[in-house]
């Protein structure tokens, strides 16, 4: 398993345990290795939203959508 996947797995484990600050640390470390992964931005956004940091979470979700708009037909 590569470094990003290891960080992601650890972050997800902390999210599952409700330890959002710790999860955020791992997602941010993963983003340092690859800033073009929309899923990593999304995970960071979820962690920030869980911490009540809504404006920052929206920035992450928007960055994720910039990289990969996913369903362009969605309304």
User: Alpha helices, DSSP H only, in the chain?
Assistant: 3-16, 20-33, 38-50, 54-67
Number of domains forming the structure of the chain? 1
The CATH number that applies at residue 45 is 1.25.40.10
Q: Are the C-beta atoms of residues 36 and 67 closer than 8 Å to each other?
A: yes
pLDDT per residue as tens, the chain (75 positions): 599 999 999 999 999 999 999 999 999 999 999 999 999 999 999 999 999 999 999 999 999 999 998 765 544
Q: Quick one: pLDDT at residue 66?
A: 94
**Domain assignment of residue 73, yes or no:** no
Q: Quick one: pLDDT at residue 75?
A: 42
Q: Quick one: pLDDT at residue 67?
A: 93
**Domain assignment of residue 74, yes or no:** no
The structure's pTM equals 0.89
Q: Quick one: pLDDT at residue 73?
A: 56
**Domain assignment of residue 46, yes or no:** yes
Q: What range does the domain containing 48 cover?
A: 3-67
């Amino acid at each position: 398993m590569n470094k990003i996947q290891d960080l992601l797995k650890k972050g997800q484990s902390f999210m599952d345990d409700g330890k959002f600050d710790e999860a955020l640390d791992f997602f941010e470390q993963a983003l340092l290795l690859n800033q073009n992964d929309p899923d990593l931005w999304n995970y960071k956004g979820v962690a920030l939203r869980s911490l009540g940091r809504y404006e920052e979470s929206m920035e992450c979700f928007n960055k994720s959508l910039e990289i990969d708009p996913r369903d362009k037909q969605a309304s």
